[in-house]
Amino acid sequence: MAKKNVNDNVIAQNRKARFNYNIIDTYEAGIALTGTEIKSVRAGQITISDGFVTVHNKTALLTNVHISTYAQGNQFNVDPLRTRQLLLHKREIVALEKAVQESGITIVPLKVYMKHGFAKVLIGIGQGKKKYDKREDIKRRDQERELGRRLKH
């Protein structure tokens, strides 16, 4: 049986994260969700572009991620922007906590996907890029695109 690729089940992606940050390390974490939230996530009703991760009292928290309310959820719906707990091992949380203490380091969600029926988030430890770094990335991407066009024709 062929092994499924994680990219097949991607629900949401934060494309600006890799542009705005140099991603140093990545971790896969589960998200503690309610019943109506997981139904909204499976329907693709999640936005992670403004999200970030904080470590507080030995727990990792996913903040500012919008999961729309489930249409048939009625009284069981919760606040779309509530802070959600990330499910990580203690050693991973300690590593994240140490990384955040450095200047200019932040933890951002890179993508949300389904794995074995569970919602997972890929989080990355990122160091903010300067404006000239972003310009170099744009220049390199344009050069690669132009080279691809020339090789195609």
The string of pLDDT tens digits covering residues 34-60 is: 888 888 889 888 999 889 999 999 999
Is the confidence at residue 122, as pLDDT, over 70? yes
User: In the numeric block, which tokens belong to residue 114?
Assistant: 């389904």
Element containing residue 13 per DSSP (H, E): strand 10-13
Stronger pLDDT, 6 or 91, i.e. the higher one: 91
Q: How far apart are CA 125 and CA 101, in angstroms?
A: 12
Note the pLDDT of residue 1: 45
pLDDT class of 28 with cuts at 50, 70, 90: very high
> CATH homologous superfamily of domain 8-152?
Small protein B (2.40.280.10)
User: In the numeric block, which tokens belong to residue 119?
Assistant: 């919602």
8 Å CB contact between 90 and 97: no
Is the confidence at residue 111, as pLDDT, over 80? yes
Q: Cα Rg for the chain, rounded, in angstroms?
A: 18
Name the residue ranges covered by the structural domains of the chain.
8-152
Q: Is 125 helix (H, G, I), strand (E, B) or coil?
A: strand
| Side-chain half-sphere exposure of 130, counting CA atoms within 13 A | 2
The residue written with tokens 């009284």 in the block is 75
Note the pLDDT of residue 125: 93
Note the pLDDT of residue 5: 60
User: How many beta carbons lie within 10 A of that of residue 76, not counting itself?
Assistant: 13
Q: What is the mean pLDDT of residues 57-76?
A: 87
Q: How far apart are CA 110 and CA 36, in angstroms?
A: 23
Prediction pTM value: 0.82
